[in-house]
Structure 1
Amino acid sequence: MAKINYVVTDTPSDEDIACVRSGIKEHNTPFLKGLFHQDLACFAKDETGAVVGGLVSEIWGSWLEVKFLWVSSKAKGQGVGSEILKRAEEQAKSLGCHSSLLDTFNFQAKPFYEKHGYKVQMTLYDHPVSTERYYMVKELG
């Protein structure tokens, strides 16, 4: 093998990032080939059509992976977040998911998710700084 040069940068090129992604995808393919994968989202809109809440997630195999759940300040306390989460979980279950995974910070929505049956599986302390990050799961039944 030729001499290797190591480059550490805070401005990686799109090409270099794509190379790493392609390499890991190539490595993973024999293990995950044919695994069901699709995006899943749910939005709440007011009478004008403006989004007042939403959930963005992926279904990966038999897991729902919630990436983001947000409710606008004007819609908080009206059950919007609960309904969005419920509808996404129901759709995921209909597509064969048995569990859901998400993460949240201590200043975000841990009690909300616990109310909906999520349990903390792992806690990262002082992440990124002076906060806690919780990784939570729920069996969808």
Structure 2
Amino acid sequence: MEFELDVAPSDESINEIRNGLVEHNQPFLNGLDREKVAFYAKVNEKKVGGITAEVFGNWLLINFLWVEESIRGKDVGSNLLLQLENHAKSKGCHSSMVDTFSFQAKPFYEKHGYVCHMTLENYPVDHARHFFTKLL
């Protein structure tokens, strides 16, 4: 057996490893729905904000939430989050999970009922990364 370090792995190599893990997980997660979902805020057909996530089993996994700087503070993010949570509840989700950096949206998620369960300090260097959940 040989071991090889690859400091610039190709997408193909990454997918090869990922596919092996997915195959291993299949007996345990077989049959669970996994659906990508997004909501957008638009002005004249231009996206000025949005939220992307996955519904995975009974959980909503939020990936990205962004609002254009010129319209921040006008409840756009709150409306996007609420619509996404409502969609997730309609799909049978009981909980939501999200992570955010210390310079991003920690107070925003706390205001919306999310509870921080873990913080990684000095991540990746001199910030923190917070992991939140919420019962829907």
Q: What range describes the TM-score normalised by the shorter chain of this pair?
A: over 0.9
Alpha-carbon distance, 1:16 to partner: 2.0
Which whole-Å deviations, capped at 9, do the CAs of 1:24-59 have from their partners, x for residues lacking one?
A: 01100000000011001000001x111111001001
Is 1:105 the counterpart of 2:109? The answer is no
How far apart are the structure 2 equivalents of 1:14 and 1:113?
Answer: 33
TM-score of the superposed pair, with normalisation by structure 1 = 0.94
How far apart are the structure 2 equivalents of 1:7 and 1:50?
Answer: 45
Q: Aligned residue for 2:21? A: 24
Give the counterpart of 2:113 among 107, 117, 123.
117
How far apart are the structure 2 equivalents of 1:19 and 1:58?
Answer: 22
Q: Aligned residue for 1:86? A: 82
Is 1:73 the counterpart of 2:65? The answer is no
Which whole-Å deviations, capped at 9, do the CAs of 1:56-86 have from their partners, x for residues lacking one?
A: 1001110000000000011111110000000
How far apart are the structure 2 equivalents of 1:103 and 1:27?
Answer: 26
How far apart are the structure 2 equivalents of 1:86 and 1:53?
Answer: 14
- Mind listing any 5+ residue stretches in structure 2 that lack a counterpart? none
How far apart are the structure 2 equivalents of 1:64 and 1:18?
Answer: 24
Kindly report the root-mean-square deviation, in angstroms, between the aligned alpha carbons of the 2 structures. 0.8
How far apart are the structure 1 equivalents of 2:12 and 2:98?
Answer: 30
Q: Could you tell me which amino acid in structure 1 is paired with residue 18 of structure 2? A: R
Is 1:134 the counterpart of 2:104? The answer is no
Is 1:41 the counterpart of 2:38? The answer is yes
Q: Could you tell me which amino acid in structure 2 is paired with residue 56 of structure 1? A: T
How far apart are the structure 2 equivalents of 1:113 and 1:128?
Answer: 21
SS of residue paired to 1:18: helix
Q: In the comparison of the two structures, how many residue pairs are matched?
A: 136
Alpha-carbon distance, 1:18 to partner: 2.1
Is 1:58 the counterpart of 2:54? The answer is yes
SS of residue paired to 1:134: strand
- State the 4+ residue runs in structure 1 displaced beyond 6 angstroms: none
Q: Could you tell me which amino acid in structure 2 is paired with residue 60 of structure 1? A: F
